[in-house]
């Protein structure tokens, strides 16, 4: 029998717990799709006692993320703690240095340190997969990295934050206040731990910077993105836009211009009849304008435990199949 891929997971919040559950539930399918079994063998999290509805007793519990990343008993380190800095950064660096492959959903970290980490992965022969960092279950990273590898890209744009789109949708359709909608987005597990990242546009800017670097081969620079969020929008603004035949969406746009790559995030009035105006709730949509081909639009769930876990497990499956390393 082919040796299983041994996976270690750091972070057992909404996404981490869902990844453990999904790998268990899909174990036969993963095994046949990857040509080898995929097993979670070790984990680490801030609290061992927290109720997660999972039997985690049989797994090894590493004392911290760095110890897990350096554990010779794992082949693939999965980072689901979040945060642009420590402990995620050192743990990922240690795993890559040890020749392991890394899967992460951490957009803040990839937007800030993606290039350095990609170089380390290349140098040591592991993969660095981050599909879940942008658009959750939508395979947009794969589309840009693989599907459109031979196509010059002129523009990438879309709705990249589930929380904002959910808030704008409910404010418009139900006349609810911004605060009420945000509370629901938090309850449903869409929002960041600090929701100002969502509503002030920074989460979209991080995702856009990642997409721009994949599309245009530029160094990821979140600082180069003009950012304006949705926190000052009231139901009356949305009603006024609707009377004129428009909907308001928070868009991220990265476009090749004669002066370089322009990146911006801001609320935008889109005609109600346009396809982007039909994207409602937590759904995200990304359109890619490639040279010589009609635009490609990908639409799907952009936030939430199950949607994010779906992309994380797909990245782990690629490691099991030896893709990307
Ligand atoms: N807070 C993010 C969002 C989660 O609402 O889109 C997924 O990246």
* H or E element, residue 264: strand 260-271
Decide if pLDDT at 289 tops 90.
yes
Q: How far is the CA of 198 from the centre of ligand 1 (A)?
A: 7
DSSP states along 113-175:
HHHHHHHHHHHHT--EE-GGGTTTTS-HHHIIIIITTTS-EEEEEEE--HHHHHHHHHHHHH-
Edge-to-edge strand order for the sheet containing 101-104?
Answer: 60-61, 38-44, 5-10, 76-79, 101-104, 128-129
192 touches ligand 1 (CB under 6 Å): yes
Average pLDDT on 43-69 reads 92
In whole angstroms, what is the distance from residue 164 CA to residue 120 CA?
A: 34
Q: Which of 325, 315, 286 is nearest to 96 (CA)?
A: 325
Average pLDDT in the chain:
95
Closest Cα to atom 1, ligand 1: which residue?
A: 191
Give the position, in ligand 1's atom list, of the atom nearest the Cα of 160: 6
Angstrom distances, CA of residue 275 to CA of 270, 279, 286, 297: 9, 7, 11, 10
Instruction: Using most ligand atoms within 8 A of CB, pick from 167, 188, 192, 249 the residue to mutate for ligand 1.
Output: 192
190 touches ligand 1 (CB under 6 Å): yes
Q: What is the pLDDT of residues 213-255, one digit of tens each?
A: 999 987 756 667 899 999 999 999 999 999 999 999 999 999 9
Q: How far is the CA of 135 from the centre of ligand 1 (A)?
A: 8
In whole angstroms, what is the distance from residue 211 CA to residue 254 CA?
A: 8
Name the token pair of 314: 């797909």
Q: How far is the CA of 301 from the centre of ligand 1 (A)?
A: 10
198 touches ligand 1 (CB under 6 Å): yes
Give the position, in ligand 1's atom list, of the atom nearest the Cα of 302: 6
Q: How far is the CA of 55 from the centre of ligand 1 (A)?
A: 27
Query: What is the model's pLDDT at position 311?
Result: 98
Average pLDDT on 68-75 reads 98
Query: What is the model's pLDDT at position 225?
Result: 82
* H or E element, residue 229: none
Q: How far is the CA of 25 from the centre of ligand 1 (A)?
A: 25
Angstrom distances, CA of residue 292 to CA of 150, 157, 247, 296: 11, 18, 30, 12
Split at pLDDT 50, 70, 90, the class of 324 is: low
Query: What is the model's pLDDT at position 48?
Result: 86
Decide if pLDDT at 1 tops 80.
no
Query: What is the model's pLDDT at position 221?
Result: 62
Domains annotated for the chain, with CATH where assigned, are 5-136+306-321 (3.40.50.720), 144-300 (3.30.360.10)
Give the position, in ligand 1's atom list, of the atom nearest the Cα of 303: 7
Contact between residue 96 and residue 125 where contact means Cβ atoms under 8 Å apart: no
pTM: 0.94
Query: Cβ-count burial of 47 within 10 angstroms (0-12 exposed, 13-18 middle, 19+ buried)?
Result: exposed
Name the token pair of 226: 């003009």
Q: What is the pLDDT of residues 2-14, one digit of tens each?
A: 899 999 999 999 9
Query: What is the model's pLDDT at position 219?
Result: 72
Average pLDDT on 81-91 reads 96
In whole angstroms, what is the distance from residue 88 CA to residue 106 CA?
A: 9
302 touches ligand 1 (CB under 6 Å): yes
Give the position, in ligand 1's atom list, of the atom nearest the Cα of 284: 6
161 touches ligand 1 (CB under 6 Å): yes
Closest Cα to atom 4, ligand 1: which residue?
A: 303
Q: How far is the CA of 57 from the centre of ligand 1 (A)?
A: 30
Place of tokens 């082919």: 2
Average pLDDT on 259-269 reads 94
Q: What is the pLDDT of residues 105-125, one digit of tens each?
A: 999 999 999 999 999 999 999
Which of 207, 249, 259, 272 is flagged as catalytic? 207
Q: What is the pLDDT of residues 134-193, one digit of tens each?
A: 999 999 999 999 999 999 999 999 999 999 999 999 999 999 999 999 999 999 999 998
Give the position, in ligand 1's atom list, of the atom nearest the Cα of 191: 1
Q: Is 207 a catalytic residue?
A: yes
Q: What is the pLDDT of residues 124-143, one digit of tens each?
A: 999 999 999 999 999 999 99
């Amino acid at each position: 029998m082919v040796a299983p891929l041994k996976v270690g997971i750091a972070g057992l919040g909404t996404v981490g717990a869902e990844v453990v559950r999904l790998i268990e539930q899909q174990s036969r399918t993963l095994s046949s799709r990857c040509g080898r079994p995929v097993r979670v063998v070790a984990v680490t999290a801030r609290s061992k006692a927290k109720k997660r509805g999972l039997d985690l007793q049989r797994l090894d519990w590493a004392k911290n993320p760095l110890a897990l990343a350096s554990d010779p008993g794992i082949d693939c380190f999965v980072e689901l703690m979040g945060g642009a800095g420590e402990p995620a950064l050192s743990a990922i660096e240690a795993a890559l240095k040890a020749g392991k492959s890394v899967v992460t959903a951490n957009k803040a970290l990839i937007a800030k340190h993606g290039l350095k980490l990609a170089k380390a992965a290349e140098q040591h022969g592991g993969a660095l997969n981050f599909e879940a960092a942008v658009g959750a279950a939508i395979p947009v990273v794969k589309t840009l990295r693989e599907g459109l590898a031979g196509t010059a890209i002129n523009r990438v744009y879309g709705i990249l934050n589930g929380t904002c789109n959910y808030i704008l949708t409910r404010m418009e359709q139900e006349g609810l206040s911004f605060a009420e909608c945000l509370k629901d987005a938090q309850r449903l597990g869409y929002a960041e731990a600090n929701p100002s990242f969502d509503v002030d546009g920074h989460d979209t800017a991080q995702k856009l910077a990642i997409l721009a670097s994949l599309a245009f081969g530029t160094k990821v620079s979140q600082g180069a993105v003009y950012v304006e969020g949705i926190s000052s929008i009231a139901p009356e603004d949305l009603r006024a836009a609707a009377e004129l035949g428009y909907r308001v969406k928070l868009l991220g746009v990265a476009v090749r211009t004669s002066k370089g790559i322009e990146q911006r995030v801001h609320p935008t009035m889109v005609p109600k009849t346009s396809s982007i105006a039909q994207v409602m709730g937590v759904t995200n949509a990304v359109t890619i304008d490639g040279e010589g081909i009609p635009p490609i639009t990908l639409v799907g769930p952009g936030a939430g435990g199950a949607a994010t876990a779906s992309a994380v497990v797909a990245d782990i499956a690629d490691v099991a199949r030896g893709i990307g390393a």
